[in-house]
Structure 1
């Protein structure tokens, strides 16, 4: 009885044998899934860049901006943008995708445009206006003193040709709608070059804010009258009246620069509207 009690316990070990040797690892599946996810994100980014406007892209950029940036216009990085964001005041902002009117490319889709013949006509019109303004030979249709009054830009609405006041050289009499002779010359230039397209035209007038509070503010009346004067000048120079889609006065509600009282805000915008596809 005592010998049986001193016996060592018997331990039985069972070893599980897996037939077939098992699988050889699935790390490649994880790598492939990461690759597919990255490609999906890349093509989604390309679609967003082509399908959104400049304002919408700014909203997307602001959403991903760091909470504590190094400066007001810095993303905090030191990569391709050198720590600046695309919305920095000294960084060129493109209207399209990867290009602008100043740094254009041959591919129209790189500028975020539809590629229609009407849009191509607006591009050609902008080029002709720029050539007329920068021509150095006697073939130029506008003198150097007129060149400082005009800029062009392409927007989602169309080609905007902007005439604006400069110091000591207004386009209209102060506080009124009497056009200066220089505006007639600008209207002639626009009609002569604009004859190459048939797009409808919108005319919009803006004015600067008054430095004091006026008892009777006539800004709305003045800008409306100035827009009508511009329409008349264009008609006199040969623009067909059925091309005028709208004539609008904006008063001082849409300044072109930060200072609402700046002379630069006194301007006329003639927009060659995009044609519906």
Structure 2
């Protein structure tokens, strides 16, 4: 149908209103801001707890929760924290609001109190009785003191008894010390005898040293356990005129090192020669004997003997002959290795017999 001229035009207006629901709203922002504020307060509290001392925290607690509700502030100064900061030195808390107990005057008694409390008990009389055992003992001791009546003779007797007791104690201590020394000497003697028997057995059982058993002397002397390596005709321990040991001497000294390892005693080594003059310019039997003793020391050290155990290494030349009747005999050339005693009172032993030497 045709529209007539002059008819109005219909205009339709549509309005869209956005709602506040869903994630497009602004309520979450308020909640997030509260959360951030709470977290900031929490971290601030943690920082304060870490940055303050125990005394400062006590001052903070007393300020916000004073112990005296009637006072305006527990600090007594009208200022926060008692006028100090957390960086100040000293106690933050003040005791103005604390309860203090002070000693005052005695309370006044009232008339309304019980009159029975004011009644005084009648005094009781004491009666002297016979002395007991304690009193009797005290009187006896007092009478025995010097200067007391009748105590002079008893005091002198007591002094004499004390002197006798002191003398007995001194004798007992002396006997105890002597007994201890004797026991130590006995044990050391037994240890040396056992080491000597083991050394003789090892030399006999070892094929490398069995044929030289006759050239090894093992004996107990007042100085200690002495082991001598002695030359024989045709069987020398060292090369003639030198301090170079042969293979058999090395084997014997290794056996001696095993015996030395069983004892803690210090070691002394002495070299000896016969009376035949040394054939060499600028040298004598003194140098030769000392060099052989030092060579034995080096062999013992190589076998495991600690160097701190050596007390002395000397050469005696021909001044201490093993066979005095024949100064030029081969038996005078020897090296003596002695394990010295540790005890103060060594036991005297008889002269060595044939059984004291290894066979």
| TM-score interval (norm. to shorter) | 0.5 to 0.7
Are the counterparts in 2 of residues 113 and 119 from structure 1 also a CA contact under 8 Å?
no
The residue that corresponds to 2:142 in the other structure is none
- Using a 3 Å threshold, how does the CA distance of structure 1 residues 121 and 211 change in structure 2: closer, same or farther? same
The residue that corresponds to 1:260 in the other structure is 327
- Using a 3 Å threshold, how does the CA distance of structure 1 residues 223 and 143 change in structure 2: closer, same or farther? closer
Are the counterparts in 1 of residues 269 and 338 from structure 2 also a CA contact under 8 Å?
yes
How many residue pairs get aligned? The number is: 162
RMSD (Å) for aligned C-alpha atoms:
2.4
Secondary structure at the counterpart of residue 226 of structure 1: helix
Are the counterparts in 2 of residues 161 and 271 from structure 1 also a CA contact under 8 Å?
yes
Are the counterparts in 2 of residues 227 and 248 from structure 1 also a CA contact under 8 Å?
yes
Matches of 1:113 and 1:142, distance apart in 2: 38
Matches of 1:185 and 1:216, distance apart in 2: 32
Secondary structure at the counterpart of residue 166 of structure 1: coil
1:230-254 CA deviation, whole Å, 9 max, x = no partner?
Answer: 0000000111111111001001111
The residue that corresponds to 1:105 in the other structure is none
Question: 1:192 deviation in Å?
Answer: 1.6
Secondary structure at the counterpart of residue 126 of structure 1: helix
The alignment's TM-score, normalised by the length of structure 2, stands at: 0.42
The residue that corresponds to 2:301 in the other structure is 235
User: Among residues 233, 256, 275, which one is paired with 1:167 in the alignment?
Assistant: 233
Are the counterparts in 2 of residues 132 and 142 from structure 1 also a CA contact under 8 Å?
no
1:38-73 CA deviation, whole Å, 9 max, x = no partner?
Answer: xxxxxxxxxxxxxxxxxxxxxxxxxxxxxxxxxxxx
Are the counterparts in 1 of residues 209 and 248 from structure 2 also a CA contact under 8 Å?
no
1:25-44 CA deviation, whole Å, 9 max, x = no partner?
Answer: xxxxxxxxxxxxxxxxxxxx
Are the counterparts in 1 of residues 272 and 289 from structure 2 also a CA contact under 8 Å?
yes
1:103-133 CA deviation, whole Å, 9 max, x = no partner?
Answer: xxxxxxxxx9974322221111111112223
The residue that corresponds to 1:176 in the other structure is 242
Matches of 1:212 and 1:197, distance apart in 2: 36
Deviates more, 1:161-170 or 1:210-219: 210-219
Secondary structure at the counterpart of residue 212 of structure 2: helix
Question: 1:212 deviation in Å?
Answer: 8.9
- Using a 3 Å threshold, how does the CA distance of structure 1 residues 116 and 156 change in structure 2: closer, same or farther? same
Are the counterparts in 1 of residues 270 and 316 from structure 2 also a CA contact under 8 Å?
yes
Aligned 1:120-269 pairs, distance under 5 A:
120-135=190-205, 140=206, 142-210=208-276, 218-257=284-323, 258-269=325-336
Question: 1:194 deviation in Å?
Answer: 2.3
1:162-202 CA deviation, whole Å, 9 max, x = no partner?
Answer: 10111111111111111111111011111123211111110
Question: 1:213 deviation in Å?
Answer: 9.4
Greater radius of gyration (CA): 2
The alignment's TM-score, normalised by the length of structure 1, stands at: 0.54
Aligned 1:53-92 pairs, distance under 5 A:
none
Are the counterparts in 1 of residues 267 and 337 from structure 2 also a CA contact under 8 Å?
yes
Matches of 2:237 and 2:250, distance apart in 1: 9
- Using a 3 Å threshold, how does the CA distance of structure 1 residues 114 and 217 change in structure 2: closer, same or farther? same
Matches of 2:252 and 2:224, distance apart in 1: 19
Structure 2: gaps of 5 or more residues: 1-181, 345-359
Matches of 1:240 and 1:274, distance apart in 2: 17
- Using a 3 Å threshold, how does the CA distance of structure 1 residues 148 and 178 change in structure 2: closer, same or farther? same
Asked if 1:118 is matched to 2:185, the reply is no
